[in-house]
Structure 1
Amino acid sequence: MLFQKKRINLNPIRFFLAILLTVVVPQTAFTATTANAAGNGFYEELNGMNSQLWYTADGWENGENFGNGWRADHVEFEDGIMALQLDDQPCPSGCSGKSYASGEYATHNKYGYGRVEGRIKAAQGEGVVTSLFTYTGPSDGTQWDEIDIEILGKDTTKLETNYYTDGDGDHATVIDLGFDAAADFHDYAFEWSSTAINWYVDGVLVHTETGQRGPLPTLPGHIMANLWPGTGLFEGWTHPFVYSGSPIRAYYDWIKFTPAD
Structure 2
Amino acid sequence: MKQLFKACVLALPLATLACSSTVNANYFKDDFSWGHDTAIWNARSGDNGSPFGCTFKPEMINPSSHGITLSLSNGQCSELQSKNHYGYGQIQGSLKTGNTPGTVSSIFTYTSWYDEPGRAWQEIDIEFLPSLGNVVHTNVIYQPQNGTYESWELDIDLAQYGLNIQQNLVSIGFDWGSNQIQWYVWDSNGAKQILRTVYKDNGDGHIANDEIPAYAWPVDPTKIMINHWHGDNSQNAFYFPGQYAAQAAWAYYDYIEYVPH
Task: Settle same-fold status: TM greater than 0.5.
Answer: yes
**Are 2:239 and 1:253 equivalent residues in the alignment?**
no
Identity among equivalent pairs (%): 28
How many residues matched?
212
Q: Deviations over 1:153-174 (max 9, x none)?
A: 1134101111123454320011
C-alpha displacement at 1:31, in angstroms?
Answer: 5.0
C-alpha displacement at 1:182, in angstroms?
Answer: 1.3
Aligned equivalents of 2:240, 2:139: Cα separation in 1: 14
Alignment of 1:1-261 (within 5 A): 31-32=22-23, 38-47=24-33, 48-58=35-45, 60-88=46-74, 100-141=75-116, 142-167=119-144, 168-178=149-159, 179-202=163-186, 203-211=192-200, 212-215=211-214, 216-231=217-232, 232=234, 233-244=236-247, 247-260=248-261
Task: Note if contact 2:142-2:151 (Cα within 8 Å) is conserved in structure 1.
Answer: no
Aligned equivalents of 1:208, 1:169: Cα separation in 2: 18
Q: Deviations over 1:40-62 (max 9, x none)?
A: 0111111123111111002x111
Aligned equivalents of 2:36, 2:94: Cα separation in 1: 17
C-alpha displacement at 1:145, in angstroms?
Answer: 0.9
Aligned equivalents of 2:174, 2:36: Cα separation in 1: 24
C-alpha displacement at 1:214, in angstroms?
Answer: 2.5
Runs of 4+ in 1 over 6 A off after TM superposition: none
Greater Rg over alpha carbons, structure: 2
Q: Which amino acid aligns with 1:149?
A: I
Q: Which amino acid aligns with 2:213?
A: G
Q: Which amino acid aligns with 1:164?
A: I
Q: CA RMSD in A?
A: 1.5
Unaligned runs of 5+ in 2: 1-20, 187-191, 201-210
Q: Deviations over 1:57-96 (max 9, x none)?
A: 02x11112100001000011112011000113xxxxxxxx
Aligned equivalents of 1:183, 1:205: Cα separation in 2: 21
Unaligned runs of 5+ in 1: 1-29, 33-37, 89-99
Aligned equivalents of 1:102, 1:239: Cα separation in 2: 16
Task: Note if contact 1:57-1:104 (Cα within 8 Å) is conserved in structure 2.
Answer: yes
Aligned equivalents of 1:235, 1:214: Cα separation in 2: 29
